[in-house]
Structure 1
Amino acid sequence: MSVSSPCNRSTSVRCRSLLRVFPPAILSLVLSTLLFATDAPGVQLKIRPDRADWTYTCGEPARFVVTATMDGKPLAGADLHYSIGPEQMPVTMKNARLDEQGRLNLDAGTLERPGFLRCNVSLAYKGQNHRGLSTAAYSPEKIRPTQTEPPDFDAFWRHGLAQLREISLEPEITPFGGKASPFVDLYYVSFRTVPHLDAKSHPLESSPRVHGVLSVPKAPGRYPGALYIPGAGVSRRNGEREPDAITLQIGVHGIPVNQPDAYYKKQYTGPLKEYYLQGLDSPLQHYYRRVILGCIRALDFLASRPEYDGNNLSVIGGSQGGFLALATTALDSRVKSVVVRYPAYCDVTGYLHGRAGGWPHMFAPRPDGASNPNVTPGKISTTGYYDSVNFARRIRVPGHYSWGYNDEVCPPTSIYAAYNLISAPKDLSLVLEAGHRPTEVQLKAARLWLASQRQ
């Protein structure tokens, strides 16, 4: 098998190892080079596992190598603090000192079950703190979810889709304004969707609509359609401009997407504060029910456009958007391909079983180890209707997926719990050092993959 980006000499070992771990039919690996820049200015703090591919089998010991320089010269004898333990779980900080070469080898122990072992390091130098981390994988292809699947999962979502179908679309379209694009026309759009079932507690939804930005190529013709779903937060939308596709970038909160920043800050600190936890005591009341059905409604709008070619429909999202892309794809057979970056809401119950759970971490223990007050039977049960792992089981179309081992927002343990359940063709773009943002090589790989799906 060929990988999606050529391996150079420094990454070839890592590529070969992961190609052994994952079946060739479902994996293409994109890796960045781990080069320690000894001539880099300022303080450079680097941490890496002692294995080139950062991947071990359960029971194997791991070691982290810490290196620090100042203007390219070793920080000999510098004091630092570090912790090693399963990612996202409570740990104890320890003290250590770099040797004369500015290096330190840390024995990390091992993991006896599949998961990820993380090393965090902080170093204070001349009044400034510097932080680094690295993460070792233990048999990630064997990670299985802790989340349960409600017996009425499918019936629950069929009921929601039936409710959605009873509501007319009634789209409103206005010019985008601002600087014109040379190859696309932009519009603000909105259309009706389901209301939140507890409208009194959600004043923003007195007139429930999905808002977004539509981009249509200027050249006449019929084009593939693409739905872009945002990550967590509350902000304006400016659209996704593609010369060869009609795209719809939506907001998920039922509010306009063309307001000043102060407007969104007010919503985020007011009625939308911790929106992702709202209604968690009941599957019917959970905030994400209306959001997911709103994503389906966005596909209705795209499919209604005369510029749509009637066949090629994709969903793209990262983090919260990755979770919603999985949900939308699982629930709507019109979707033909999906692009997912570091999905959220994956195996959120992991914390109840002594390992990392996904964002929004509603069951994570407190820093002192105390139980999270969200750990109640009702809230735990509700998450089963929304967890990405249960949507992943229902993905039936090709997908492109990407993340990194150093993601502290959407832990790789939680992501693999969902990813390993996907039986459809899947392409993985993995940059080990990446955190919670895509690298340029991953973005390029996703674009090329999506273009190949549209042919």
Structure 2
Amino acid sequence: MALFDLPIGELERYAPAVREPGDFDAFWDATLKQAGAGPVLRDVRPVETGLSLLDTWDVTFAGFGGDPVRGWFTRPRGVAAPLPAVVEYLGYGRGRGLPHERLTFAAAGYAHLLMDSRGQGDQYGSGGDTPDPGATALGGPGPAARGILSPYDYYYRRLITDAVRAVAAVRELPGVDPARVAALGNSQGGGLALAVAGLVPDLAALMISAPFLCHVQRAIDITDADPYGEIVRYLAVHRADEEAVRTTLSYVDGVTFARRATAPLHLGVGLRDTVCPPSTVFAAYNHYAALAPGGSPTADRTVCVYPFNHHEGGESLHTSRQLTWLQPRLG
């Protein structure tokens, strides 16, 4: 795909006004208060993986509505001291898979929690293990359009709540320093991690690439690529629902979460990305920490731009840059 979005000079200054509901904070405060009413950890069981240098546990924690959410928790074997932790969120359509699939951050010396995505896992990888009991409202068949006529029914209200609860869960797991927790994700996972940074004020670091759900109103206007394409196809049939859909999307927009976030940020973006267009990503980056005390964005922001890459961004090179950036921030 050739360059299709704004040129880099404009992207670096692109900070559009986005549609923000007047009750945005009250909506999420009430949602998270309800989710946090009971204990977060449900079950923690050791798993034999055949990996002699790492220990892994199969974790179940209480997510949205108290629903059980699964995850893999992995940390270096034989390390007694509490470790900083990285909570990782998955891309669209992917489940947690098998416990040996994502070992980079545990191998780097961190405790690592990989959260399963409720109701996903059938498009890539090795599957998922977390159902979505709340998938009963009207909307499209895919998660991006599931329950999209109301912010209270929308799939991403449930998944974002799960993501916040994952941070609470990792802070109670063995061998974790609760003061040093970072959020990580690519694509859908990046959108979830960004939402967590806007909702969890004491997050220690944020590493995202090609985040989904940023500047959503523009995204559904300029790309037909999935997952946004699922929303476009829904509206192509349900033409009278556009206002309701746009209202729902305004409650999960990453730009609005970014304005409330303050954790040190490391971001990656490919300029040829039609899945999560670069202008939507830069909208979040340029608004990041806008509501911080004093009204000035945090100085600890880094963006890695990959001019010739699509949604894959910098791949392994970007992971290397994340590891280098994270070490002095988590120790």
Does the alignment pair 1:308 with 2:148? Answer: no
Displacement, 1:168? Answer: 1.9
Q: 2:154 aligns with which of 240, 263, 286?
A: 286
Distance 1:155 1:444, change over 3 A: same
Q: 1:436 is paired with a residue of what secondary structure? A: coil
DSSP 3-state at the match of 2:251: coil
Q: Deviations over 1:112-155 (max 9, x none)?
A: xxx52xxxxxxxxxxxxxxxxxxx54511222335311011111
Q: Structure 1 or 2: larger strand share?
A: 1
CA contact (8 A) 2:207 2:265 kept: yes
1:396 paired with 2:262, answer yes
Supply the distance in 2 between the matched residues of 1:309 and 1:251 (Cα, whole angstroms).
Answer: 22
**Partner Cα distance (1:212, 1:143) in 2:** 36
Change (3 A) 1:251 1:365: closer
User: Matches of 1:155 and 1:208 in 2, distance apart?
Assistant: 22
- What are the superposed Cα offsets for residues 247-305 of structure 1, whole Å, 9 maximum, x if unpaired? 10011206899xx95788x99xx999401211111111111111111111111111112
Q: Deviations over 1:217-265 (max 9, x none)?
A: 21211100110000100434334431421110011206899xx95788x
Q: For CA contacts below 8 A with separation 6 or more, give which structure has more relative contact order.
A: 2
Aligned to 1:409: 275
Give the 5 Å matches for 1:23-172.
87=4, 115-116=5-6, 136-137=7-8, 139-145=10-16, 147-172=18-43
Q: In the superposition, relative to structure 1, how do residues 340 and 358 fare at CA in structure 2: closer, same or farther (>3 Å)?
A: farther
Decide whether the 8 Å contact of 1:211 with 1:254 is kept in 2.
no
Separation of aligned partners in 2, 1:357 and 1:141: 24
Deviations along 1:178-200, whole A, 9 cap, x unmatched? 32x232101111012222xxxxx
Equivalenced residues, count: 306
1:143–1:281 distance in 2 versus 1, CA, 3 Å: same
CA RMSD of aligned residues (A): 3.2
Distance 1:430 1:374 in 2: 38
Which residue does the alignment assign to 1:60?
Answer: none
1:382 paired residue number: 248
Mapped partners of 1:234, 1:187: distance in 2: 20
Q: 1:444 aligns with which of 315, 320, 324?
A: 320
- Opposite residue 171 of structure 1, the aligned amino acid is R
Structure 2 Cα separation of the partners of residues 167 and 255 of structure 1: 25
1:78-123 CA distances to partner (integer Å, 9 max, x unpaired)?
xxxxxxxxx3xxxxxxxxxxxxxxxxxxxxxxxxxxx52xxxxxxx
Q: Which residue identity is paired with 1:283?
A: P
Return the letter of the residue paired with 1:383.
L
Please give the alpha-carbon distance, in whole angstroms, between the structure 2 residues aligned to 1:316 and 1:447. 11
Matched, 1:217 2:76: yes
Structure 2, unaligned stretches of length 5 or more? 289-296
Cα shift readout 1:14-71 (whole Å, capped 9, x = no counterpart): xxxxxxxxxxxxxxxxxxxxxxxxxxxxxxxxx988xxxxxxxxxxxxxxxxxxxxxx
2:91 to 209, 231, 251: 231
Q: TM-score, normalised by structure 2?
A: 0.82
- The residue number in structure 2 matching 1:250 is 115
Q: Share of identical aligned residues, percent?
A: 25
Matched, 1:188 2:58: yes
1:351-375: CA deviations, max 9, x gaps?
67x6459963259767xxx797485
1:441 to 1:178, Cα distance in 2 relative to 1, 3 A: closer
TM-score normalised by length of structure 1: 0.61
Helix, strand or coil at the partner of 2:12: helix
- AA of the residue aligned to 1:145: P
Do the aligned partners of 1:145 and 1:350 also contact (CA within 8 Å) in 2?
no
The Cα shift of 1:348 comes to 1.4
What CA deviation, in whole Å up to 9, does each residue of 1:150-180 have, x standing for no partner?
A: 011111111011102212224212232332x
CA separation of 1:150 and 1:173: change in aligned 2, threshold 3 A: same
Counterpart secondary structure, 1:420: helix
Q: Give SS of 1:393's match.
A: helix
